Amino acid sequence: MKPGPSPPATYARPPISATVVLVVGVYLSAFAGLVALAGGAVIRWTEVPAPGPGDQDELHLLLGLLVAAAGCTLLSGLWLGLQWPKWTAFTSTLFAMVTVATLVTAEIVERRFTPPWPAAALHGVTPDANHQPWGLLGRRPDQVGFNTWGQRDRERTLQPAESVYRIAFIGDSFLDETVSEPISLITERLMNSPKIEIINLGVSATSPDEYYFRLANVALPLGVDACVMFLYLGNDLAAGPRTLHGSLGITAVSPRGSLLDALQLRSLNHLATNRQRPVLQAWGVAGELADRERRLHQRFQNATDEGAIEILLSLEPFPPPVAAALVQRLRRPEASAFLEMLRHPDAGLFRSYFLVDSLWLAGLGQAPLTIDDINSARHWVKLSHEHCQQRGLPFLLVVIPQGFAVDQRLQEMWSPLADVAGLTDKTEVAAMQLLQQLTIDGVELLDLHTTLRSAPGSYLNLDGHWSESGIHCVAAEVEKRIRGWTDPRLVSGKALAAGSSRTDAHSPVTKQHCLKQ
Closest CA to 404 of 392, 394, 412: 412
Please state, in angstroms and rounded to a whole number, the distance separating the CA atoms of residues 74 and 78: 6
Q: What pLDDT sits at residue 132?
A: 52
pLDDT tens per residue across span 173-191: 999 887 788 999 999 999 9
Q: How many domains is the chain partitioned into structurally? A: 2
Question: The whole model's pTM is what?
Answer: 0.88
Q: Which DSSP string do the residues of 40-67 spell out, in sequence order?
A: HHHHHHHSPPPSSSHHHHHHHHHHHHHH
Of 345, 364, 383, the residue that ends a domain is 364
Cis, bond preceding 255 (omega within 30 deg of 0): yes
% of the chain residues with pLDDT over 70: 87
CATH number at residue 206: 3.40.50.1110
Closest CA to 391 of 203, 202, 168, 162: 168
Please state, in angstroms and rounded to a whole number, the distance separating the CA atoms of residues 47 and 403: 36
Does 385 reside within a domain?
Answer: yes
The single-letter code of the amino acid at 414 is W
Domain identity same for 358 and 450: no
Domain that holds residue 423: 159-238+372-514
Domain identity same for 314 and 395: no
Q: What pLDDT sits at residue 3?
A: 56
Three-state secondary structure along 230-297?
EEECCHHHCCCCCCCCEECCCEECCCCCCHHHHCCCHHHHHHHHHHHCHHHHHHCCCCHHHHHHHHHH
Positive or negative, the CA dihedral 166, 167, 171, 174 is negative
Q: What pLDDT sits at residue 348?
A: 85
Domain identity same for 382 and 298: no
Backbone phi and psi for residue 462, each to the nearest 5 degrees, phi listed first: -125, -30
Does 105 reside within a domain?
Answer: no
Does 124 reside within a domain?
Answer: no
The single-letter code of the amino acid at 24 is V
Does 2 reside within a domain?
Answer: no
Which three-class secondary structure state does DSSP give residue 69?
helix
- Average pLDDT of the chain is 86
Backbone phi and psi for residue 225, each to the nearest 5 degrees, phi listed first: -105, -10
Of 364, 385, 403, the residue that ends a domain is 364
pLDDT tens per residue across span 308-359: 999 999 999 999 999 999 999 999 999 999 999 999 999 888 888 889 989 9
Do residues 512 and 470 touch, judged by C-beta distance below 8 A? no
